[in-house]
Structure 1
Amino acid sequence: MRRDKRQIQTAVLGSADSEEPLVLPLEAIELDAFRSFHEHDSFWCGLLLGGCGGRLTTKLYTDRVCHFAHLPGPDGQPHICGRRARSVSSADHLYVKSAATTWLRNRGMHADFDFAHPDGTSLGSVIDIQLAHKRLRVHLDQGVAPEWDSPDEPVLGISVPVDQDTLIKRWYVHRIRLDSEGTSRRVRIGTEAFARPTEWFSLEECEVTERGLSTPAVERIVQARSTPEPARWTPGMKRTTSPQDERAQELMLRLLYARRTESPDLTATVCREITELSGVSPQLQQRLNAAHHSASLWAQKEIESRRTLMSLLDQAVGARKVSQMQSLIKQAKKATKVDRTKQEEEAIRAAADCLAAEISATVDRVNVLLGELSRFPASGDPDSLMRRTQQISQDVDELARVGKGVTHQRAQLALWEERVKSLLVLPSGAPAPGPLHELVGRGYWTVKMCPLCGADHGQKCVILDGPRTGQLRETPHADRLRLFLGEIEERQTEDAGGTTTVWQAYDVTCPVCQKGPGAWCRALGRPHSLRYKLAADFTQQRKPNSAKQNRQPNIEQAARSATEL
């Protein structure tokens, strides 16, 4: 079998038969935070992804997208996998099952799921969701054609075509799409009808009725198709309807328009005019009364909902809760888009101004705290440093919830959290190592993009504070070099087939000053050259490196405790 060189973007967590999918970030700076978050997790080429069930690792690159890769086989040769789907969408069927399970559980419902794949169809092309009285068949791609005469209700992926005759006959069809959000995928349900654009909704806005899956758009379509057409007058023919009946027909059409545009004020106005109308024929009066009763209940419910929504918005503004303000502002704009009052307009504008001010203040606070951390001594109190990083973490999480791009700040925070860990594990009494740039060749100083000052590949770092702010640094930031060293150590581990046989200087006893494994040499800033040579000899001899697992200070930890910053 030839080796498939397509890049793997999805995996499952924990085991080969896991149903918990995730997507790998494409950018190197995002992958650093991803690795830190999943430090104790394992990644697998899942069986439910059509994979081989093998263990995966993450590959970090700066000149191309990052991706998963199989660990080498026991013989050290590249692993061969016959998995067909490897793109970001290759785990969509698992995301659909997970989202649908949570959605139904919140409504007190249960469903059975089956990943049907007829002969020649890839796994995940079709998902069958068996509800209590209905079965949904989700077509994520064109592998299986929908059966329109089947009792099952089709839900079509965005690439699955449907002809106009089917739309006219069925009134509408449901569609599904998945949008990437970080390392996950979010499910969206759409409703497509003839001569109407597809309307998209979140799962939380959808319901399960006797007809099956229902969205707000379905309710409007069904109501529009179920309302009888008003009587038309033909020129040259005698009119058979009274003026009162014509007025009743007109009011019902206006009531339908008010419901379609979701305007409770217009609905209430039309309902008031209906109550003032008299002299309508008995048959039409019955229909008019039913429409009035239904519309009155809806209008009252919408008015109360809008009052509650605006009250919650005022409370969120008063409490300065950023994520709640953003969510409630969106809901308020949607609920009042047709007949927004002046008072509602002012409340929404004030909330938007408050939200912008809070986000700006939070961003400034994060940047100030990160600046303070950059001046924090490497030998400082770990508990104090931990409290600072926790405060920044809370602010960064809050910014992420409102969609504020904080990738750069999150990367810096991850590096400082690693530095805290290193301060907690350094042996007591161990002397601080020399600057990290003395351990890395000058030609490798600008290989990685700097997570602190943002200097790109090939560019020098800049000074972040003080009178020389913005000027080029003579040496790079230590965290920039730490990224490079971490990638080198990872590649050495992968090259060894998962068994680390690479020796570093601090893994061996120094033949000059007799310092044991993990202890720093008496030489200024770096180990003695003979210690390097001894470590290289052990590596060449493939001598088992059991000390590497137990040693505490290594080059990485030397970087974390460096006083470069």
Structure 2
Amino acid sequence: MRRDRRQIQTAVVGSADSEEPLVLPLEAIELDAFRSLHENDSFWCGLLLGGCGGQLTTKLYTDRVCHFAHHPGPDGQPHVCGRRARSVNSADHLYVKSAAAAWLHNRGTQADVGFAQPDGTPLGSVVDIQLAHKRLRVHLDQSVAPEWDSPHEPVLGISVPVDQDTLIKRWYVHRIRLDSEGTSRRVRIGTEAFARPTEWFFLEECDVTERGLSTPAVERIIQAHSTPEPARWTPGQKQKTSPQDERAQELMRRLLYARRTESPDLTATVCREITELSGAGPQLQGRLDAAHHSASLWVEKELESRRTLISLLDQAVGTRKLRQIQSLIKQAKKATKVDQTRQEKEAIHAAVDYLAAEIPATVNRLDALLEEVSFIPANGAPELLSRKVHQISREIDELGRVGKGVPHQRAQLALWEERLKSLLVLPPASTAPGPLHQLVGRGYWTTKVCPLCGADHGQQCVILDGPRTGQLRETPHADRLRLLIGEIKERQTEDIRRAPTVWQVYDVTCPVCQKEPGAWCQTPGRPHALRYKLAADFTQQRKPNSKEKNRQRDIEQAAPGAPEL
């Protein structure tokens, strides 16, 4: 079986048969916080995901998205898994089951939720929800066509088509979508009707009635079909509307605006005004009560989420967890972009200031390390020099992580990284007798596929023989390191070859007064004009001068293969 190289973005927690899914963050900065949060959890290629049941590990990358990966097999070879669905939405059926069960439980409704596989359909395409008086079938993809005349009510994924005749006949159909929120997915229910845009709602805003699944949009659609055509307006006849009804309609418009702008403060204010209103018509009052209930739940959940986020940020600053601080700052800024309170603003500023204060401390440590390196003999202490270079590498990584949370420091950090990473390419030639892994910076060890054990880009080499076969090696195989050193030398050689050759006027012998290179002409002012012309001709003809000969010598010294162990 050929190895499937598609990246795994979802897993289950705890065991292979677990129903608790999670999504791996795509960015390296978010994966650091994810690892800290789940340091005591194990991840599995779940059986309910169509996986092999093997244990997974997380892979962090800065040049591509992060993902889960299987552990190598006992023989050290990459694990082969036949799992078909691996993307972010591959665990949506588990999220649907969990969300539906929690929603119905909170409503005091008993229901059975299962994964149907009619006619051999792939696991996860269909989710069946059996209620006491109604059955819902969720179609997450197009593998199973919806049956409109069957006992169960279809709920369609966003990729499942529906024709206009069905919309006209049924008045509306329900849709489902899942939005990523951190390492989870949140369910939204949409109502689509003919000549109407799809309206989306959270599960908490939906209901289950004798007709089946219902949303606030369903009530409006049924009312529009059931209400007789209003009498035509004629000039001179003024429509009578009570002040309470006008006030109720105004509050509905303001509440809709508050929800669309995701403003908890404005939403809470409108909710208070709704509770103070009395005397509206029965129908309008019912709509107001439903909107008030939904908005109040949203405000409570939003404020609780923000309080939790700020509390975690304060804890991370107190415990000096730099990676967690950086991730939480980003989340807090996004969550509090509207109606930011003074406490939230102070907490975010304190975290940013803490990161900014860590930059000079890290830079000072790097300065001290560079000074120590400058006093190490080039040929007298290769092990000490290598250890210092690796220590500098770790400090550079820490500086980069800290600096990403402080925007005004990014230009300075870029200069530091360029200056310091030059130490990680290759130590001085005099340190060559040391082990090969000391000749290549640790950050470059996994940038090539190992020709011996087959470790992929970003993966450590594994032990191929002995009692520890299959375990990760502390250092890469020598064959992998030789590839890296050869590539580095090729780049150095190419840089030398591309260097321009320019002849200066005193690099040539004067054709008039015969003065040797480096000697001034006998003229009292400038050199002879023919000497200028000769230097320009040699530059145009790319004749090698003394500097060019030195470069050729450097090429010859850099050309030999990688040093032996």
**TM-score normalised by the shorter chain: which range applies?**
0.5 to 0.7
CA distance in 2 between counterparts of 1:66 and 1:98 reads 25
Q: For the structure 1 residues 254 and 96, does the alpha-carbon distance in structure 2 shift closer, same or farther, using more than 3 Å as the test?
A: farther
Q: CA deviation at 1:102?
A: 1.1
Q: CA deviation at 1:54?
A: 0.9
Q: For the structure 1 residues 253 and 170, does the alpha-carbon distance in structure 2 shift closer, same or farther, using more than 3 Å as the test?
A: farther
Q: Which amino acid aligns with 2:352?
A: N
1:30 alignment partner in structure 2: 30
Which runs of structure 2 are paired with 1:463-474 in the superposition (5 Å)?
none
Q: Do 1:460 and 1:472's aligned partners in 2 also have CA atoms closer than 8 Å?
A: no
Which runs of structure 2 are paired with 1:269-288 in the superposition (5 Å)?
none
1:178 alignment partner in structure 2: 178
Kindly indicate whether residue 433 of structure 2 is the aligned counterpart of residue 450 of structure 1: no
Q: For the structure 1 residues 146 and 460, does the alpha-carbon distance in structure 2 shift closer, same or farther, using more than 3 Å as the test?
A: closer
CA distance in 2 between counterparts of 1:262 and 1:59 reads 50
1:284 alignment partner in structure 2: none
Q: Do 1:11 and 1:44's aligned partners in 2 also have CA atoms closer than 8 Å?
A: yes
TM-score by length of 2: 0.55
TM-score by length of 1: 0.55
For each residue in 1:303-330, what CA deviation from the matched residue of structure 2 results, as whole angstroms up to 9, or x when unmatched? 9879x97xx99x99xxx9993799xxxx
Which runs of structure 2 are paired with 1:134-149 in the superposition (5 Å)?
134-149=134-149
Which runs of structure 2 are paired with 1:112-261 in the superposition (5 Å)?
112-230=112-230
Q: For the structure 1 residues 93 and 260, does the alpha-carbon distance in structure 2 shift closer, same or farther, using more than 3 Å as the test?
A: farther
Aligned length, in residue pairs? 372
Unaligned regions of 5+ residues in structure 2, if any? 255-278, 310-335, 363-383, 422-439, 448-454, 477-564
Q: CA deviation at 1:49?
A: 0.4
1:45 alignment partner in structure 2: 45
Q: Do 1:437 and 1:475's aligned partners in 2 also have CA atoms closer than 8 Å?
A: no
Moved more, 69-78 or 143-152: 69-78
Q: Which of these residues, 340, 344, 365, is aligned with residue 355 of structure 1?
A: 340
CA distance in 2 between counterparts of 1:15 and 1:323 reads 32
Q: CA deviation at 1:499?
A: 3.2
Q: Which amino acid aligns with 2:211?
A: R
Q: For the structure 1 residues 446 and 80, does the alpha-carbon distance in structure 2 shift closer, same or farther, using more than 3 Å as the test?
A: same
2:351 alignment partner in structure 1: 366
2:286 alignment partner in structure 1: 298
Q: For the structure 1 residues 207 and 441, does the alpha-carbon distance in structure 2 shift closer, same or farther, using more than 3 Å as the test?
A: same
2:471 alignment partner in structure 1: 499
Q: Name the SS of the counterpart of 2:69 in structure 1.
A: strand
Q: CA deviation at 1:452?
A: 1.4
Q: CA deviation at 1:79?
A: 1.3
Unaligned regions of 5+ residues in structure 1, if any? 234-242, 266-290, 327-350, 378-433, 465-469, 505-539, 541-565
Q: Which amino acid aligns with 1:323?
A: R
Q: Name the SS of the counterpart of 2:217 in structure 1.
A: helix
Q: For the structure 1 residues 483 and 159, does the alpha-carbon distance in structure 2 shift closer, same or farther, using more than 3 Å as the test?
A: farther
CA distance in 2 between counterparts of 1:226 and 1:29 reads 54
Q: Do 1:461 and 1:475's aligned partners in 2 also have CA atoms closer than 8 Å?
A: no
Q: Name the SS of the counterpart of 1:440 in structure 2.
A: helix
RMSD over equivalenced CA pairs, Å: 5.1
2:496 alignment partner in structure 1: none
Q: For the structure 1 residues 367 and 98, does the alpha-carbon distance in structure 2 shift closer, same or farther, using more than 3 Å as the test?
A: same
CA distance in 2 between counterparts of 1:127 and 1:177 reads 13
Q: For the structure 1 residues 358 and 483, does the alpha-carbon distance in structure 2 shift closer, same or farther, using more than 3 Å as the test?
A: farther
Q: CA deviation at 1:256?
A: 11
1:419 alignment partner in structure 2: none
Q: Do 1:57 and 1:69's aligned partners in 2 also have CA atoms closer than 8 Å?
A: yes
Q: Do 2:461 and 2:475's aligned partners in 1 also have CA atoms closer than 8 Å?
A: no
Q: Which amino acid aligns with 1:223?
A: Q
Q: For the structure 1 residues 443 and 42, does the alpha-carbon distance in structure 2 shift closer, same or farther, using more than 3 Å as the test?
A: closer
Q: CA deviation at 1:27?
A: 1.5
Percentage of pairs with the same residue: 58
Q: CA deviation at 1:51?
A: 0.7
Q: CA deviation at 1:108?
A: 1.1
CA distance in 1 between counterparts of 2:19 and 2:308 reads 34
Q: Do 2:55 and 2:71's aligned partners in 1 also have CA atoms closer than 8 Å?
A: yes
1:348 alignment partner in structure 2: none
Q: Do 2:95 and 2:185's aligned partners in 1 also have CA atoms closer than 8 Å?
A: yes
Q: Name the SS of the counterpart of 2:219 in structure 1.
A: helix
2:271 alignment partner in structure 1: none
Kindly indicate whether residue 306 of structure 2 is the aligned counterpart of residue 323 of structure 1: yes
CA distance in 2 between counterparts of 1:136 and 1:450 reads 50
Q: Do 1:448 and 1:483's aligned partners in 2 also have CA atoms closer than 8 Å?
A: no
Q: CA deviation at 1:497?
A: 6.1
